[in-house]
């Protein structure tokens, strides 16, 4: 039997507080000009999309049986209700297209699903019956691996050819990953499940609170057989694949999720997330430039030696003050050199600690120098925090923002 994800939403986070900031897409690496042009043309005109969406209702009753995964155990009561609503003539399908990538693919695919949910709710507020849909497309050969962080913050890539996927995940977690999510993944990837079915199970179950409907198969037959003219959720990584003639599109949420450790590291060293994309060496150079150096003490040592040399000219070689001067000089120089070594040692320890913190934060926030949502597997956050993380993200994400959002979980 498949594992039912706990719907109590008891999240293992020390506080309910979230913080959200925004970053302009133009400042992020890997964002296409076509996406920037689309957003500029869109201009935040959600009113026009809402008006178009109201005209997208089907003209006939739909039969979705061939596109649905078997077994109601993967669906909530709300999902089953939405399936029934979707098959009527009065509902608009709000579709987030995702690939059947390993473990659900990158975070951006889950964000598209959350966008479909938020867009559907916005339509409902405008008296348009809408159903959030996750359309599972076959994965391409380039989408056969995903990146996960282990419990030490090191980045690992898992391929679709992993001999034992679940054991590999457990190995990376070293007991820190949520056991319920691991069991859930084992059920999704049962021996009888194709990649598309496994992905449909994942998305349907992870978004069961909102009744997300997961469909599989080829999109053209779906449109021709059902007559559905959906509102599509489009994101920065698939926008070029969508023809300009689509009746209505809604820009997907884009976001980076921080943990409290990464946030505190950025605050401690006065860093911005954009600086992490430049590389660890650049970040460490900035941190080092702000730390105290021992150069001032080297100058002080030279001054002491010069002053003592001047004092030597004021007394004869036989004067007992010479011995006192030499003794005093040795003690001062000794203390200066001792303090100098202490500072150098402290700075070295500080830099070593900073290097570890920067390495870990960059692996989470800018893995491999890429935007987190593009590189890191979406399942990482449920593995780390439990399935309730989606409920928390849903509450904080702005479904009508046209910038990249920074979400901090404390």
Check residue 222 and give its pLDDT.
67
Most confident of 41-45, 54-58, 182-186: 182-186
Domain boundaries, position 290: 278-359
pLDDT at 10 over 60: no
Residue range 81-93: average pLDDT?
86
Tens of pLDDT, residue by residue over 60-82, are: 667 777 888 887 788 889 999 99
Q: How far apart are CA 162 and CA 191, in angstroms?
A: 14
Of the CA atoms within 13 Å of residue 269, those in its CB half-sphere come to 27
Q: For residues 79 and 42, give the distance between their C-alpha atoms in angstroms, rounded to a whole number.
A: 31
Most confident of 213-227, 319-333, 357-371: 357-371
- Residue whose structure tokens are 């975070």: 107
**Residue 84 and residue 55 in one domain:** yes
Spatial distance between the Cα atoms of 168 and 249, rounded to a whole number of angstroms? 38
Residues 175, 293, single domain; the answer is: no
Q: Looking at residue 312, what is its pLDDT? A: 61
Q: At which residue do the structure tokens 């949502």 appear?
A: 373
Q: Report, as an integer, the average pLDDT of 255-264.
A: 93
Percent share of the chain, pLDDT over 70: 80
The pair of structure tokens assigned to 53 is 């969406």
What SS3 string covers the chain?
CCCCCCCCCCCCCCCCCEEEEEECHHHCCCCCHHHHHHHHHHCCCHHHHHHHHCCCCCCCCCCCHHHECCCHHHCCHHHHHHHHHHCCCCCEEEEEEEECCHHHCEHHHHHHHHHHHHHHHHHHHCCCCEEEEEEEECCCHHHCEEEEECCCCCEEEEECCCCCHHHHHHHHHCCCCCHHHHHHHHHHCCCCCCHHHHHHHHHHHHCHHHCCEEEECCHHHHHHHHCCCCEEEECCCCHHHCCCCCCCEEECCCEEEEEHHHHHHHHHCCCCHHHHCCCHHHHHHHHHHCCCCCHHHHHHHHHHHHHHHHHHCCCCCCCHHHHHHHHHHHHHHHHHHHHHHHHHHHHHHHHHHHHHHHHHHHHHHCHHHCCHHHHEECCHHHHHHCCCHHHHHHHHCCCCCCCEEEEEEC
What number is the average pLDDT over the span 80-104? 89
In this structure, the answer to whether residues 288 and 326 fall within a common structural domain is: yes
The reply to whether 208 and 145 lie within a common domain is yes
Answer positive or negative: Cα dihedral of 216, 219, 220, 222.
Answer: positive
In a domain? residue 155: yes
Task: Find all residues with CB under 8 Å of 16, minimum gap 6, and list them.
Answer: none
* pLDDT confidence of residue 66: 80
398 and 338 part of one domain: no
* 241 and 289 belong to one structural domain: no
Collect all residues with Cβ–Cβ distance below 8 Å to 325 and sequence separation of at least 6: 308, 311, 312, 315
Q: What is the pLDDT of residue 263?
A: 92
Does 354 fall in a domain? Answer: yes
Q: Let me know whether 151 and 284 are in one domain.
A: no
Could you tell me if 252 and 330 lie in one domain? no
Whether residue 69 is contained in a domain is answered as yes
Residue 5 lies in a domain: no
Phi, psi of 132 (to 5 degrees): -75, 130
Residues 95 and 42 in one domain: yes
Structural contact between residues 142 and 160, judged by C-beta atoms closer than 8 angstroms: no
**How, if at all, do strands 145-149 and 213-216 pair?**
unpaired
Q: How confident is the model at residue 115 (pLDDT cuts 50, 70, 90)?
A: very high
Residue 112 shares a structural domain with residue 194: yes
The pLDDT mean for the chain works out to 83
Distance, in Å, from the CA atom of 152 to the CA atom of 261, rounded to the nearest integer, reads: 12
Answer whether residue 355 is part of any domain: yes
Name the one residue in this structure whose structure tokens are 């959030």. 132
322 and 403 share one domain: no
Residue 98 near residue 113, CB atoms below 8 Å: yes
Answer whether residue 181 shows pLDDT above 90: yes
377, 383, 384, 390: CA torsion to nearest 10: 80
Kindly give the pairing relationship between strand 255-259 and strand 249-251.
Answer: unpaired
40 belongs to a structural domain: yes
Structure tokens, 142? 């380039």
Mean per-residue pLDDT, 282-305 = 72
Q: Under a CB-based contact definition with an 8 Å cutoff, are residues 294 and 344 in contact?
A: yes
- CA 76-80-81 angle, to 5 degrees, is 110
| pTM score | 0.84
Residue 270 covered by a domain = no
Assign 320 a pLDDT band (cuts: 50, 70, 90): low
Q: Which of 48-52, 169-173, 204-208, 393-397 has the lowest mean pLDDT?
A: 48-52
Phi-psi map region of 271: left, alpha, beta (phi>0 left; psi -120 to 50 alpha): beta
Residue 86's pLDDT is 85
Domain count for the chain, please give it: 2
- Is there a single domain that holds both residue 136 and residue 205? yes
Domain-located, residue 264: no
pLDDT bin (cut points 50, 70, 90) of residue 310 is low
The two structure tokens encoding residue 40: 């500029």
Q: What are phi and psi of 406, to 5 degrees?
A: -110, 115
Mean pLDDT computed over 214-241: 77
- The pLDDT value given to residue 348: 82
pLDDT > 90: what percent of the chain? 45
Joined together, the tokens standing for residue 392 give 């928390």
pLDDT value at residue 1: 45
């Amino acid at each position: 039997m498949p594992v039912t994800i706990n719907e109590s939403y008891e999240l293992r986070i020390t506080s309910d507080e979230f913080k959200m900031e925004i970053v302009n897409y133009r400042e992020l690496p890997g964002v296409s000009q076509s996406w920037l042009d689309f957003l500029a043309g869109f201009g935040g005109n959600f009113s026009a999309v809402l008006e178009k969406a109201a005209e997208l209702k089907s003209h006939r009753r739909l039969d979705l049986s061939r596109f649905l995964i078997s077994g109601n155990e993967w669906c909530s009561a709300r999902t089953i209700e939405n399936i029934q609503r979707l098959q009527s003539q009065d509902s608009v399908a709000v579709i987030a297209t995702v690939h059947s990538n390993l473990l659900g693919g990158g975070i951006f695919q889950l964000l598209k699903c959350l966008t479909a949910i938020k867009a559907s709710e916005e339509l409902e507020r405008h008296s348009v019956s809408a159903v959030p849909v996750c359309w599972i497309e076959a994965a391409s050969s380039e989408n056969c691996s995903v990146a996960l962080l282990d419990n030490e913050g090191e980045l690992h890539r898992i391929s679709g050819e992993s001999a034992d996927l679940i054991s590999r995940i457990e190995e990376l977690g070293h007991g820190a990953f949520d056991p319920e999510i691991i069991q859930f993944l084992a059920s999704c990837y049962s021996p009888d499940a194709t990649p598309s079915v496994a992905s449909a199970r994942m998305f349907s179950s992870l978004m069961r609170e909102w009744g997300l409907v997961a469909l599989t198969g080829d999109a053209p037959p779906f449109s021709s057989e059902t007559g559905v003219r959906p509102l599509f959720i489009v994101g920065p990584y698939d926008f070029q694949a969508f023809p300009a003639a689509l009746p209505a599109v809604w820009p997907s949420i884009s976001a980076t999720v921080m943990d409290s450790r990464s946030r505190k590291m950025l605050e401690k060293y006065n860093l911005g997330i954009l600086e992490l994309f430049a590389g660890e060496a650049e970040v460490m150079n900035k941190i080092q430039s702000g730390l105290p150096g021992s150069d001032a003490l080297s100058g002080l040592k030279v001054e002491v030696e010069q002053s003592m040399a001047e004092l030597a000219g004021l007394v004869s070689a036989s004067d007992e003050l010479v011995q006192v001067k030499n003794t005093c000089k040795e003690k001062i120089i000794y203390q200066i050199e001792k303090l100098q070594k202490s500072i150098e040692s402290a700075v070295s320890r500080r830099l070593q600690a900073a290097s570890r913190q920067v390495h870990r934060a960059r692996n989470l926030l800018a893995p491999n120098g890429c935007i987190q949502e593009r590189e890191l597997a979406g399942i990482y956050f449920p593995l780390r925090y439990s399935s309730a993380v989606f409920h928390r993200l849903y509450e904080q994400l702005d479904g009508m923002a046209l910038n990249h959002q920074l979400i901090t979980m404390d």
